[in-house]
Chain A
């Protein structure tokens, strides 16, 4: 699907069970970004917990030794380990898998999906830069990486009014990830308690890269009522949270990004 906008091109494709939308302000043909789609497909081949033949599923079953996995798999698992450490255990790839019915589709004994998407989009942004596509926004199912010279206006979804935004921020080079339990139900579980996270309905994190933003947004939602306080202690990110009782909580510095409608 291609949408011709006045000064940019938009390509949307299904990927990873969601839709990835790439908007380019650069004057390049659609097929210039074909390597990006190939990279995203490779990420699916390696990390899909919905596919028995992915490396992550084979690793989880014991059919594949860690030392025999691709470099990308080990890099992501290392990212997960660091996130587990900084989140005091609230983010846990092993737990995310064990908490669910092991026979359910989309589950295996290692579930790094809270990190993979952001990390993969970051690498995709670097790939596009090498291809000369440097004024671009990648929106992977609501998690966004932007590169460019002029700001992109990013709306944050209003959780209860689906045709409205709760806030608008301007980003020129950076990332914003949103975790929320309003789109697919209570799918984030606090690994410390084994129960669905409560307290925060949605949290959006702005960071220099999407791996950080995505991982931290996931952790904050899992921490629930403690999530925003935890984010406030993390360097290099700012965040906005919408609580279950419909309040907005922001960390210091978030308002620097806010655009008045």
Chain B
């Protein structure tokens, strides 16, 4: 997932992640300013923060916690990220919701979601000029469909 992080930010494109973490120890309130659209004036007017603080099993004042950002609609679908913090630092950023669930699909989003048609494999035996296939050896050529076609001409 770590490798997907740059793609996440690229996908968000016109969105600006304004994350403001109050990380001092001692039980101060912690909050995350939600991602807001870049056209929106700065903090305070964006979507209401929906961050949650999850204490770790250690129970220590300085530990791990995860903060979920709000669901942000994009042209490809909803995006939501989770920030994992350890000892006051960002340890990881995970995608909770993505328009697609795999990294390569993030790039599909960037390419304006091209369509992949899926259909049943068929076998045809129509007249052709040339045959494209996996590279055959010199000797295997004699058994190839291309050679057979040439001999029939």
Contact = CB atoms under 8 A, between A and B. Distances in A.
A163 B152 CA distance: 13
B116 A228 contact: yes
Contact of B105 (A146, A154, A168, A229): A229
- Most chain B CB within 10 A, of A139, A176, A181, is at A139
Contact of A168 (B124, B140, B146, B150): B124
Given A6-B153, A233-B108, A249 B117 contact: yes
B1 interface: no
B122 interface: yes
- 7 nearest A-B residue pairs (beta carbon): A157-B133, A180-B134, A261-B126, A183-B134, A155-B128, A164-B123, A19-B141
29 contacts: A3-B151, A12-B150, A18-B135, A18-B137, A19-B141, A21-B150, A23-B130, A141-B136, A142-B131, A142-B135, A143-B132, A143-B135, A153-B127, A153-B130, A155-B126, A158-B121, A161-B123, A165-B145, A168-B124, A178-B133, A183-B134, A184-B134, A184-B135, A230-B107, A232-B115, A233-B110, A248-B120, A251-B117, A261-B126
Nearest to A177: B132
A242 interface: yes
B133 A164 contact: no
Contacts, number: 179
A37 interface: no
B74 to A, nearest CB: 17
Interface string B20-61: 000000000000000000000000000000000000000000
B75 interface: no
Interface string A47-86: 0000000000000000000000000000000000000000
A93 interface: no
Contacts of A255: 117
B24 to A, nearest CB: 39
Nearest to B149: A155
Looking at chain A's contact residues, is the secondary structure mostly helix, strand, loop, or mixed?
A: strand
B104 interface: yes
B125 to A, nearest CB: 5
B132 A178 contact: yes
Contacts of B127: 153
Contact of A232 (B102, B108, B137): B108
Contacts of A164: 123-125, 145
Nearest to A25: B129
Given A6-B153, A226-B104, A232-B116, A168 B134 contact: no
A230 B131 CA distance: 25
B134 A182 contact: yes
A248 B138 CA distance: 28
